[in-house]
Amino acid sequence: MILCIPDVLTPGQVSHCREKLESAIWEDGKKTAGHQAAQAKDNMQVPAGHPAAIETGQGILKALSENPLFMSAALPLHYLPPMFNRYSGGQQFGTHVDGAIRNLPNGQRIRTDLSCTLFFADPDEYDGGELVIEDTYGSKSVKLPAGHLVLYPSTSLHHVTPVTRGARLCSFFWLQSMIRSDDQRTQLFDLDCAIQRLAGSLPDEEAIKQSTVQLTGVYHNLLRQWAEM
């Protein structure tokens, strides 16, 4: 499932984050790439331990924890702290697949089930820079407004097209979900969306109430079977 999530950050939060990142140190993005990815990667990144990256990343994770759509779709268990990249002057990232295992700062390993890209620059600020994700139904090109996020399976082949004008500024990170299977996560997400829609419409009708209870039971029973803690 590829899901675009609007308004993860408010315009004010986006402006604050951009100010922090503009004052940060930027280095060659190849430093954090594996051997194969380094051959395709051409961008700049903020070092993971830089104070601006840590503070901004914590703010992103707090905002996501308060976003019902994201939490329902991702069912997160562990996060790799958000990182930050910038593309300009023709920079791009060729087709690649994200590494399956990542190391947290504390030495713990996580499985990368889902990849996240959060945009900090609006589409009219730069030309190119589309994130192109390949899935079962073909390729999807993503270029979102500042403050919006795209969530997609880390198993997907994807690339970033060359940025020919301006600069593309984003945060990118991975998470391990409680649900390993993308198909199972999608089923749970669809169920949860149905529950929320039913709960919000005609709550006084007994049939609607019964349906909501039934769907809620199905959701939690599937979650009980599939969740990995």
For residue range 46-97, list pLDDT tens digits in order.
999 999 999 999 999 999 999 999 999 999 999 999 999 999 999 999 999 9
Q: How far is CA 26 from CA 8, 30, 33, 191, in A?
A: 24, 12, 15, 43
Whether residue 15 has pLDDT greater than 90: yes
**Predicted pLDDT of residue 127:** 98
Superfamily of domain 3-177: q2cbj1_9rhob like domain (2.60.120.620)
pTM higher than 0.85, yes or no? yes
Burial of 68 (0-12, 13-18, 19+ CB in 10 A): exposed
Structure tokens at 126: 């730069």
Mean pLDDT computed over 210-217 = 87
Residue 156: name the closest of 228, 80, 95 by CA. 95
Whether residue 43 has pLDDT greater than 80: yes
- Arithmetic mean of pLDDT over the chain: 93
**Predicted pLDDT of residue 140:** 96
